[in-house]
A and B are shown apart, each in its own frame.
Chain A
Amino acid sequence: MSDTFTHPYIPNSDPVIQRWMMDSIGIEDIEELFACIPESLRFRGKMNLPEPLLSEAALRRRVMGRLNKNRTCEEALSFLGGGCWQHQVPAVCDEVNRRSEFLTAYAGEPYEDHGRFQALFEYESLMAELLETDVVNVPTNDGSQAAATALRMACRATGRDEVLVAGSTQPDRFRIVRNYLRPDIRVTRFGFDRTTGLLDLKDLKSKVSDKVAAVFFENPSFLGCVETQGREIAEAIHAAGGLLVVFADPSSLGVLTPPSRYGADLSCGDIQPLGIHMSFGGGRGGYIASADEERLVQEYPSRLFGIAPTEKGEWGFGDVAWERTSFAKRENGKEFVGTAAALWGITAGVYLALMGPKGMRELGEGIMQRARYLAALMDKIPGVAAPRLSAVPFKEFVVNFDGTGLSVKEINRRLLDRNIFGGQDLSADFPELGQSALYCTTEVHSKADLDRLASELASCLKG
């Protein structure tokens, strides 16, 4: 830096200190330390970056100036869901998530980061109670990565190279899974019923074979439907020697049976509903869960933190079966592992501890009731059909607008003028559903919010 200025983030940017340190090293100029970089590879230009904002005041003005251009889901009334959901984040989740000791830690050992190991073991354990499984991983980057990895795990465990994925799967999740399984695993879709939203068992059964490693579906599905045929699907794939992988929204599991109870060998999903802000889709974490069977445990690529005794009788923690990982074995380990979403895992643990069994049940019940109320209300609006699919919805349901003569795009534009974020437009990804949108409601909505949507929608459809 200049001779008169020291940057607050860089203590040794002070020229006098630098001189002293250079003398100690035995150099005249810091430039000498770059001697190993050939001149042809040196960047001698100036990076075209804004002039630095050196004071907090100037920085805050600039960054908040940008952020203040946003209109948030708290400032509007939002019915967006589809994989990222507006739930109440308990204040204690934020308090723990922002603790400096957790926020700025990284890769310490159990003897300096005991708290991190215990908190993540507890996260695994709390999720395990929700999922009724004995093994849960330290989170992956997001639910889609968890789904993709669960399917690769199933392929390795069975020695097979084809998976069947439900056609109603969230479209970008399907893309992520298919891309991750490329090039060695074949991904085949199976259908769903356009009337009920439930999976097409006939189509599925026609595709199950002794080459299929796993069947994958979401429950509730992307389209909001609670799948009721889990047991039958499990039996079909198990009979062929494959595994069942179910992607479950953890916010539903206070009221719905966890997938392990109807035959899922691997459960997976995203923990965002559990105390993690949406952050424009930037707050995510993926879980994978299974029984405590060595053949499955050894296929996890993720860190798995276990509990162990110490010489003085404390609760101790550490990595389980380390030799599975790419950290230990590089390309001979299971897939890869690295920085993912550990702090979100700790936060989700805080959430589950705060909610307890009663909270999770009330959450699920309240959401399902609101979804039913909202669908009924919207269905009364001329030209609007809700829910478009007859299966019982959880927090989302498809609303069809064909009878209005308007596109979802136009309706959402009109709702936005009334400060409402309408449901996700499905018309491009699911053209067979016509002009349909995916509406979502959670515990953040009051009856007045739902009533307001219905009345504004009715009014804006009139033009």
Chain B
Amino acid sequence: MKTNPKTEPRDFHQAKWDEPVIFELSTPGERGVLLPGTEPEIAALGNPWEDLPKELHRTSPPALPEMSQMRVLKHYLRLSQENLGADLNIDIGQGTCTMKYSPKINDQFATSPKLAELHPLQAPSTVQGTLEILYETEQFLKEISGLDRFCLHPGGGSQAILGIGSVIRNWVDANGMADRKDEIVTTIFSHPSNPAVAKIKGFKVITIYPDPVTGRPDMKAFMAAVNERTAALLITNPEDIGLYNPSIREMTDLVHSVGGLCSYDQANANGVLGIARAREAGFDLCFFNLHKTFSSPHGCGGPGSGVLGVQKHLVPFLPAPVVDVDDQGNYFLQYEGVDRENRIKDYYGVLPAIVRAYAWMLSLGDEGLREVARVSILNNNYIFRKILRIPGADAPFAAGEHRMEQVRYSWQGLKDATGCGVADVQNRIFDFGMHIWTSHEPWIVPEPFTIEPTESYSKDELDEYVAVLEQIVREAHENPDILKKAPHRSTIHHVDHDVLEDPKRWAITWRAYNRKYRGYFEAR
């Protein structure tokens, strides 16, 4: 055992169960669960499906596996062990995603039958507790953002952006401006869903690149892009590189001066909680990700929650319903004053995620939320200096400035010196039970990696992560093959990704696999 993982990486190996694909585990006749039978009086009425035309009778049963309960459980528990969740990992390598601690007590609330067994159409009198939580959550978010009303429906940040795009679209149309407001301005460091949604909603996308020195959006290009055709600005601040943009108010003022709207992508708001708000920066809309900043777990890619806020003048465009309280203190779903036609998701939001975020905010309060921002930035600047001391690591833009809650670094120097770039470092870091992400495409920063320590990790854990990076860089210099042939201690070895890009060879389901192959990838 290594005694000091802060300086010497621990001797880690991922779980490897060599678990078959679930269909290979089928034993005809086995059952995983039994269903309640119908009583004789009900069964006596016969099988209603026999009244349907023959072609609607499913004649060949679905070829699902037949498995005993414990075998199903074992299969999935083995797969779970072959998965490196944030609870096990020092998960600071997935920058922009705020992989913070999700308190376990909050899972108890999210999974309580008092929430889980509620139908969305129950009478309001039977769901007062849940409506009250939705109402209070909205009040908290209003305080944090300075905006006037929130819709809690979206299932994640991208769907919140869809909500924002829909508000903008419908606002443009309602004001009869469809023929003259048809452009949306965004930045290359904004999440890809911003331009993608803008396009779905019928806007031309204009993308601003960063100033090569400051790293902030190129103001000259921005000013040239904004004009009477500008319907909206979709922007993040701080952007992925971790630099707060001090010109943000000038930008929102300029867009307002031509009659456009400004939307603030706050998917990651960890560095500005209680520090800076959407309102003061001049935004008409914003959204938060409750599964990032507000601690709800990420669930392998959802269920999450994106909550979308607006200033008063856009409330009539907000998806209905919201939750209000009447004079008697009764909470109810409010469809008046908001837009039932601007629906983007079934029902009222991802309650398990919302309840976790609600509890998390309650456990911190005003001072605690501000401490989250302070410590996430302290942690980031601490590790920032340590990473910059690693040969071959660099942080382009704004030399000498502190960073906010995350940094986008570059391994270009390492690649020049050793031939090993970020993909090689990535493949090797899995051998230490850790993760490192690159950046969204396109790569503005060459050989990028993005580190966001959040407030959840101790100094010792940050040191441990850096020690692993240092070890990998040493290996890159001394024996690059270690990186080039990595991972060595993963569940699996190199995947042939070419197969996944070839329509003749890809198989998205077991059914397709069996049509295309037999045995182990022997073409039929």
Contact = CB atoms under 8 A, between A and B. Distances in A.
A141 B101 contact: no
B456 A447 contact: no
B107 A128 contact: no
Interface residues of A, number: 219
Given A101-B85, A107-B97, A280 B64 contact: no
Interface in B96-138: 97, 99-103, 105, 107-109, 111-123, 125-130, 132-133
B275 A366 contact: no
9 contacts: A49-B361, A60-B108, A62-B362, A92-B73, A103-B102, A279-B116, A279-B118, A336-B200, A369-B45
Contacts of A132: 62
Interface stretch (B16-24, B307-315, B410-418, B472-480): B16-24
A200 interface: no
A43 B495 contact: no
Interface string B63-76: 11111010011011
A447 B143 CA distance: 51
Contacts of B99: 106
Contacts of A73: 117-119, 122
Interface stretch (A189-197, A236-244, A319-327): A319-327
Nearest to B354: A282
Contacts of A119: 76, 79
A13 B118 contact: no
Given A73-B119, A279-B352, A353 B508 contact: no
Contacts of B342: 179
Given A50-B365, A90-B32, A105-B300, A314 B493 contact: yes
B169 interface: yes
B143 A37 contact: no
A183 B173 contact: yes
A63 B69 contact: no
Nearest to B340: A175
A255 to B, nearest CB: 5
B280 A43 contact: yes
B299 A343 contact: yes
B367 interface: yes
Contacts of B91: 104, 106
Contact of A92 (B32, B162, B364): B32
A43 B145 CA distance: 10
Given A25-B381, A121-B508, A323-B501, 19 more contacts: A48-B143, A52-B368, A53-B362, A69-B128, A99-B77, A101-B87, A107-B94, A110-B495, A113-B83, A124-B508, A124-B509, A182-B169, A257-B59, A282-B348, A308-B497, A311-B493, A353-B64, A368-B49, A369-B43
Interface residues of B, number: 220
B36 interface: yes
Contacts of A105: 83-86, 298-300
Contacts of B130: 66-67, 70, 280
B66 A357 contact: yes
A59 to B, nearest CB: 5
Interface in A11-41: 11-13, 17-18, 20-22, 24-25, 27, 30, 32-38, 40-41
B382 A306 contact: no
A398 interface: no
A43 B402 contact: no
Contacts of B193: 326, 336-338
Given A7-B371, A43-B274, A67-B130, A125 B122 contact: no
A127 B62 CA distance: 9
B41 interface: yes
Given A331-B205, A337-B158, A176 B343 contact: yes
A430 interface: no
Contacts of B499: 306, 308-309
A342 B155 CA distance: 11
A310 B493 contact: yes
Contacts of A357: 61-64, 66
A176 B369 contact: no
Given A129-B63, A294-B503, A353-B65, A102 B21 contact: no
A138 B506 CA distance: 16
A63 B137 CA distance: 12
Contact of B302 (A96, A141, A180, A320): A141
B155 A142 contact: yes
A257 B58 contact: yes
Given A25-B382, A52-B367, A68-B129, A310 B62 contact: no
Contacts of A21: 378-379, 382, 459
A338 B158 contact: yes
B56 A356 contact: no
Contacts of B374: 30
Contacts of B496: 308-311, 316
B36 to A, nearest CB: 6
Contacts of B362: 50, 52-53, 59, 62-63
B347 A353 contact: no
A338 B368 contact: no
A12 B86 CA distance: 18
B173 A10 contact: no
B195 A331 contact: yes
A100 B85 contact: yes
Contacts of B513: 307
Interface string A297-312: 1000001111111111
A186 interface: no
B378 A98 contact: no
B165 to A, nearest CB: 9
